[in-house]
Amino acid sequence: MRRLTLVSAACATVLLMSGCASTDSDTAEAATPTPDNCAPVTSTDLATEDGWLGLIDQAPDTVSLVIDDGRGRTVEHRPDQEQILASAIKVVHLAAYAQAVADGSIDPNEQVSLSDWERWYVPGTDGNAHPNALNRLGIANTGTNATDPNATVRIDDMVSAMIQESDNSVPDYLRYRLGDRAIIDAAATGGWENFEVPSLVADILSIFDPALADGNRWETAQKWAFDPQFRTQVEASVQLPTFEDQAARVQSTFRGASAQQLNGMYRAFTDGTYANASDTILRQLEWQPAGDSVLGLGFKGGSLPGVLTQGFELRRNDGTVATAVWLTDGLPADRFEQAMAGAGAQQQLIVEAMLSPEVLDRIACVV
């Protein structure tokens, strides 16, 4: 079997933090920065926070962001501009799953056969997200697929793989299981109207064969899942495109959304909009430890050739909530490689901006 391999894995970066800086509520207010008190940003080094500020200044059309500190300060840059979301879109599938758990239509402890999970898996296209998830869950595997396809896994653990490792097969499994209306309704609950449900399977396949982007993508995904002959034909015919071709296909055929739309989802996750479903959403998103001054820190990001996306919610002990979404796309190969390597610096900058008025001001100076 020929392996499909992307130049860039379609998976999320992982937030690595030793702790969160604290900010007292009585110091949260700060004057809006003006050109007179803004220092120029000239760095292009994406391994540093200044380099990410420089990207906004030097390539403004590649960035869309919203950072709301939950204390009356919001910084925005092209907030309504549609950009590719990559795996950041998976929080919509998470919300649909959580609503199904809340209404009793899914038991989070339900056992799902690994064959039913992996029929939606496109090996070699996810930066090892799926085998890494299998390893974390203690499931024996060959380095790509489970060793025993008849073994089972809790559906809640499958969803954790979608969030933690950014497994690409789970969203299409959930779409097949729940139906489009459940996912559309979950998005609408968070204020995202007219949501178009993606197929990550078909999207990834279309990077290798643009013809697969034509027609009904969900039908293509289901053929991959249930038609072994189709799968064999696709695997035998694919050729690895250049990074430039991959990035162009992502930009031209993948669905986009705005930072404002995605930020609205994170705000809704934390303000009671999703009612009992919020418990499941936040439990899945807030799987990483937060600092002493923080009740919970939730994150979901993503990447595709030329694209890097970040979404956060941060719940403080005082009851206030900060949210942030930073979308970057249209990056050439060299800058994209730097962006992926420097994603940790960007994430740290975002979290600091949610907590610190001074850091939020630094971003406000360049937007």
Q: What would the DSSP string read from start to end of 295-308?
A: EEEEEEEEEETTEE
Portion of the chain with pLDDT greater than 90, in percent = 83
At 181 the pLDDT is 98
Q: Coil, strand or helix: which one is 74?
A: strand
Q: What letters, b where the CB count within 10 A reaches 16 and e where it falls short, cover 107-125?
A: ebeeebebebbbbbbbbbb
pLDDT value, residue 232: 94
Angle, nearest 10°, between helix axes 277-285 and 155-164? 50
Per residue in 242-260, pLDDT tens?
A: 999 999 999 998 989 999 9
Predicted confidence at residue 14, as pLDDT, reads: 45
Give the pLDDT of residue 25: 41
pTM: 0.92
> Which residues of the chain fall below pLDDT 70?
1-36
The amino acid at 60: P
pLDDT (0 to 100) of residue 47: 95
Q: What is the pLDDT of residues 30-46, one digit of tens each?
A: 455 555 578 888 899 99
Residues in the chain: 367
CA pair distance 88, 129, nearest whole angstrom: 15
* Contact present, 85 and 309 (Cβ < 8 Å): yes
Element (H, E) at 247: helix 243-253
Residue 1's pLDDT is 32
**Within a 10 A sphere around the Cβ of 53, how many other Cβ atoms?**
21
pLDDT at 34: 56
Q: What is the pLDDT of residue 45?
A: 94
